[in-house]
């Protein structure tokens, strides 16, 4: 199983690190690991038609101190982030409802390192709800195990049964609407990571080779699209690269859509693996 797999996105423009050229994936499941999961998924896939979802969201604000720079973002940014999620997922029939917000001042947790003992302790202490509830952890900084700065990372729905306490999304606080991580401060990082949490891969998964991201209506794409490269076409298969897709790596203003196929896939995934 694809347990414990997390998706990590490199942070651009953080006040805590020198800006780099664009988002990139710090770690992601191999094609072989995905093939194992997808075989199980397809063999037991639940067909869902025109179903809507109301998903509870638990926000855990982790800060180094009581300041905004320390990660202690105001409620207004969290409310704006929920509004962004609802706008972005409306076409997929998903509504996100803020269930609760808690705040923790803990320097050891405020600078999260993916899969570290400190991250595990944080999630074990704070996670709420069940498989169908999204837990979001915002932190002053987020890094991979090698020390690289990240925008965020997420677990997949099929990982829940093996490690329920690990389930959820971690994002850097400055990526929320109104944050300081421009051009990644319109809230699209959580939209992207929630997509993984709901069962979506990157649009460039598998490159130009079938089955790609396991969604029929997202054109094949050889590599991530950074910025907003209009007209980019990296594969010979029909269709230009889906640069505006939320599961790509564009700047926040460039990311505007899910496809109908992605909506169908995430619906099946959260129904099957999250009991919704």
Catalytic positions, written as ranges: 193
Determine the Cα–Cα distance for residues 145 and 46; give it in Å rounded to an integer: 36
Cα distances (angstroms) measured from residue 38 to each of 42, 127, 150, 212, 274: 6, 27, 27, 12, 16
DSSP three-state, residue 2: coil
Cα distances (angstroms) measured from residue 3 to each of 36, 73, 164, 233: 12, 31, 10, 33
Query: What is the rounded end-to-end Cα distance, in angstroms, of the chain?
Result: 21
Query: Which residues lie below 8 Å from residue 42, measured CB to CB, with a gap of 6+?
Result: none
Q: What are phi and psi of 39, to 5 degrees?
A: -65, -45
Q: How far is CA 207 from the centre of its chain?
A: 20
Tokens of 229: 């490269």
């Amino acid at each position: 199983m694809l347990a414990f797999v997390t998706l990590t996105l490199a942070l651009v423009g953080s006040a805590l690190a020198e800006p780099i050229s664009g988002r990139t994936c710090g770690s992601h499941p191999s094609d072989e690991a995905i093939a194992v999961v997808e075989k199980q998924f397809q063999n037991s896939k639940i067909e869902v038609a025109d179903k809507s979802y109301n998903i509870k969201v638990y926000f855990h604000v982790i800060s180094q101190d009581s300041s905004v720079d320390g990660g202690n973002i105001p409620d207004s940014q969290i409310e704006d982030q929920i509004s962004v999620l609802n706008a972005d997922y409306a076409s997929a029939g998903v509504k996100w409802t803020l269930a609760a917000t808690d705040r923790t001042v803990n320097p050891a947790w405020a600078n999260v390192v993916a899969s570290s003992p400190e991250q595990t302790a944080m999630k074990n202490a704070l996670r709420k709800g069940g498989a169908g509830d999204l837990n979001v952890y915002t932190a002053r900084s987020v890094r991979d195990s090698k020390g690289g700065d990240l925008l965020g990372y997420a677990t997949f729905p099929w990982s829940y049964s093996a490690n329920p306490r690990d389930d959820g999304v971690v994002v850097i606080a400055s990526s929320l609407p109104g944050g300081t991580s421009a051009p990644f401060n319109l809230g699209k990082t959580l939209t992207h990571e929630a997509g993984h949490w709901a069962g979506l891969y990157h649009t460039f998964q598998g490159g130009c080779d079938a089955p790609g991201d396991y969604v029929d209506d997202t054109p094949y794409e050889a590599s991530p699209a950074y910025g907003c490269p209009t007209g980019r076409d990296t594969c010979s298969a029909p269709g230009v690269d889906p640069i505006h897709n939320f599961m790509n790596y564009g700047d926040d203003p460039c990311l505007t859509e899910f496809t109908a196929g992605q909506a169908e896939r995430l619906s099946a995934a959260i129904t099957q693996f999250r009991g919704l």
